Chain A
């Protein structure tokens, strides 16, 4: 079972940099079966890369996403592959090629171009602080071990 773990986001944005941080951290655990990638690049590029690789059986995305939940909340869910209107997809492609990196853009664009496998999991963490700088907020910092294990558990068959 081939699994790809992807950290989505920007560096230097404190909790907003969770995705790239997880990619860096989990790279040490990567195996022949589980690949880890820093998705600090745009979704169209990722989609094109996926289209040229052998299929993955599962992809796990991890990102800090502000959805108004309690800071530090970890939410893991299976992606349901639903797409918004084609107009919105088109706008998301525009956002993507002009450099916007976000979990939602990534899911929508790569799904629209049929690049994703059926089995896609998402681990979202509610950020407490997305201001410029390095290091995490205390609340997210305290959750790092739990986040790491949540992601890694999702790589198991």
Chain B
């Protein structure tokens, strides 16, 4: 029984049904959001009477994240607490609207544009949705090729985050500016991983995390390049691949391509070990300085993971069999509640999802907000109950209004699983796999129930075993640490798939074909792509009729995590994590406050607010990003 809050029960055969005798089962009563401090003069007076250190601090935009995120806080600089938070996705991603009425194959190319980092995974997720709707699946080599694309995309994503986005928060520059006493200590603290990463003292490591000039920063840039080079050998172009199609991949692969990819992937074995050693040292050093650093960005261990990297001999694209092929993935599907794995069923992962818009700039689509009106899909194709707030039943109806922390304040919806806020990411991937019983056969990955062992082949460094242990505490440092391990996890899976690809090529025959022919069906169908970006959970729910898209819903990792409050009064994961964050920064005057701990908490989630493209229709003004520096635009010729 994986649901505590949804009206779903299971019979003796484990089949999910709606709870009997419950009228209007998905109805809920909205819990009003707390009144913002600024709107509550009595509370303001009370707080100011206690001390004069209450401040509104807004991070707008939050820099060093992908896309447009703003974050509102009210902090008490005296007690070093965060009193109020609100996470705002400040731009509208209108792909759901753009895709209506188009050929379903267009979704692969158009939805890819939703993100400049994860374009390839959007394309693949869209292809998976098409395959389910069309009733086709790729030959094994097509699946393996897709797995390699995914691996190299993650090998691009993780170094970006660790070196270029989160890393600078732990650099000499940042630490000297916000906690000079920690810098002094770093100068006198020997590292634990010096034999692997080569840094004798923490201060040396922090210096090399310095943006633009630090060796680790520049090395991270280099590794983003290597991954892209490997990606384009199959994808043709990055981040928007040309070769992802329903039924596989529209290119050929020969041993020379595989060699080129292999040469690059093996470099991540050494780089990953170094990165793990660095992030182990960072976490342990800060915990040693002050154990309260474990509370930066902490929140319940609630995570949702659709899984990815399909088994080429198990994946058949059908919803009916998705529990079976889902469990055969290298990253297994699952949901963690308070750190316990409550399901590994991909159907239950999907059936538990709802999206709410009480605090988002959208109109509620069920008509009266109660969810009791007729809705299209009361069950999924396997007969499991679905909520009217499920993505297959959702409509995107943008409705911008003035921002109000109590009412509406974000373009992100509030996705919930079993009506709980969930986070997702590289860490949910490795965590779920670590706990999954009967994990697939792999030469390099070994879950133990409490850890995940990665058996690394020899590269420049000798072969070895690296073990990620499920952390007892959960917060910003552990997110970053787990992401570092995921470089190795990803590289090992890529290696597994490369060996499979060589074997398929050697054997030849139908299994070595790259794609399956298909025709776009003209009747009414639905499909879903259940996959993940580097940053976590990604699904595309598609409904087609008469050969065109009738409804399309994209649910991204940052929609889960940047979400505003839900109708049950629960904050989104960023909001919750920052509320729990102690302000450990060293400031004498309120004006000196930089908010480094808040930013470390937010950035640890690897936010990605896919938003580059924009639309504008009738009275719905949709903002967009304008970079207006005119440096050098002094004009020699004007026409």
Contact = CB atoms under 8 A, between A and B. Distances in A.
A21 interface: no
Nearest to A13: B613
Contact of A99 (B115, B165, B168, B637): B115
Nearest to B631: A82
Interface residues on chain A, size class: 35 or more
Nearest to A79: B632
Contact of A73 (B212, B626, B630, B639): B639
Nearest to B165: A94
Interface stretch (B2-10, B61-69, B449-457): B61-69
Interface of B: 63-67, 94, 98, 110, 113, 115-117, 119, 160, 164-165, 168, 211-212, 221, 224-225, 228, 237-240, 608, 612-616, 624-639
B538 to A, nearest CB: 15
Given A100-B116, A100-B612, 8 more contacts: A75-B639, A91-B64, A98-B66, A99-B66, A104-B629, A108-B631, A122-B632, A122-B633
Given A13-B613, A131-B615, A77 B98 contact: no
A107 interface: yes
Contact of B211 (A41, A66, A74, A90): A90
Contacts of A40: 240
B91 to A, nearest CB: 12
19 contacts: A12-B110, A12-B113, A12-B613, A44-B224, A45-B228, A48-B225, A66-B626, A74-B639, A75-B637, A76-B637, A77-B637, A90-B64, A90-B211, A94-B164, A97-B164, A98-B165, A99-B115, A99-B116, A102-B627
B613 A132 contact: yes
B634 A77 contact: yes
Nearest to A91: B63
Interface in A82-109: 82-84, 86, 89-91, 93-95, 97-102, 104-105, 107-108
B274 to A, nearest CB: 20
A45 B225 contact: yes
A149 B459 CA distance: 53
Given A45-B225, A75-B635, A77-B632, A10 B613 contact: yes
B627 A41 contact: no
A77 B113 contact: no
Given A78-B636, A132-B614, A10 B608 contact: no
B212 A86 contact: yes
A102 B628 CA distance: 10
Question: What are the 5 closest A-B residue pairs judged by CB atoms, nearest first?
Answer: A99-B116, A98-B66, A74-B639, A90-B211, A76-B637
A97 B224 contact: yes
Contacts of A10: 113, 612-613
B628 to A, nearest CB: 7
Given A42-B116, A91-B63, A93-B212, A82 B638 contact: no
Contacts of A32: none
Contact of B67 (A79, A98, A124): A98
A53 interface: no
